[in-house]
Homo-oligomer: A and B are copies of this chain.
Amino acid sequence: MARWDPGADLRLQNAALDLYEERGYDDVTVEQIADRAGLTRRSFFRYYADRREVLFAGSERLPPALVEAVGAVPREVPPFRAVVEAMRTVGGALIGQLDVDRARRRHRVIVASPELREREHSKFAAVTEAVAGALRGRGVDPGSALLLAEVATVAFRTAFERCVTAGTTFSSECDEVVRDLAAALLGVARDEDRRGSP
């Protein structure tokens, strides 16, 4: 086999997902994945650090993509709105190039494994950190930036999961999430104003 094998990464990803579904993540080895993909163990490690990472290929691109998208929103747009717009752009593009059925299968595999859930959690922690940085870059103080970034991450993850589950568009799910949150928080904030007023 030639050293340069253009479909190898995708074949490994598909083989891993198939095997994790069939046997459970804990009972699958790198050898079995490589074998199913028609490759050697050594080839596997040319693409992925371990059998966990093969399921998270490309996820390292999400934080910088969000930062770049926030940067593309005009400076006069308020910081959190800029983040929501960036999420719509990046989430929409992500869903556009996604095999939704595959994403649903992947989601089920992740939910079933504590180790994969922890990896998924780290992925979103990296998103939070990147978004917090982008908010600080727009003049938000570090404490608020972290808080808003955490909520933006929850919103992004929720919209994305709903989109994958229901087969809807990312922007409509994103709008609904923001509306839901705004309605809930407005009710509380209004009440606090009342409590604060004489």
Seen from chain A, the residues whose Cβ lies within 8 Å of a Cβ on chain B are 78-81, 84, 118, 121, 143-144, 146-148, 150-151, 154-155, 158, 162, 175, 177-189, 191-192
Query: Could you tell me the distance in whole angstroms from the C-beta of A159 to the nearest C-beta in chain B?
Result: 9
Task: For the complex, give the distance between the alpha carbons of A118 and B193 in Å.
Answer: 37
> Chain B residues near A147 (CB, 8 Å)?
154-155, 158, 177, 180-181
A84, chain B: closest CB distance, angstroms: 5
In the assembled complex, the CB of A75 is this many whole angstroms from the nearest CB of chain B, namely 15
Contacts of A143 in B (CB 8 A): 162
With A175-B192, A179-B189 given, is the CB distance from A184 to B80 under 8 Å? yes
Q: A154-B154, A185-B80, A186-B186 are in contact. Are A192 and B180 (CB under 8 A)?
A: no
Q: A147-B154, A147-B158 are in contact. Are A182 and B178 (CB under 8 A)?
A: no
Nearest B residue (CB) for A179: B189
B residues in contact with A154, CB < 8 Å: 147, 150-151, 154
Bound state CA distance, A192 and B174, in angstroms? Answer: 11
A179 interface neighbour in B178, B183, B192, Cβ under 8 Å: B192
Q: Which of B148, B188, B192 contacts A80 (CB 8 A)?
A: B188
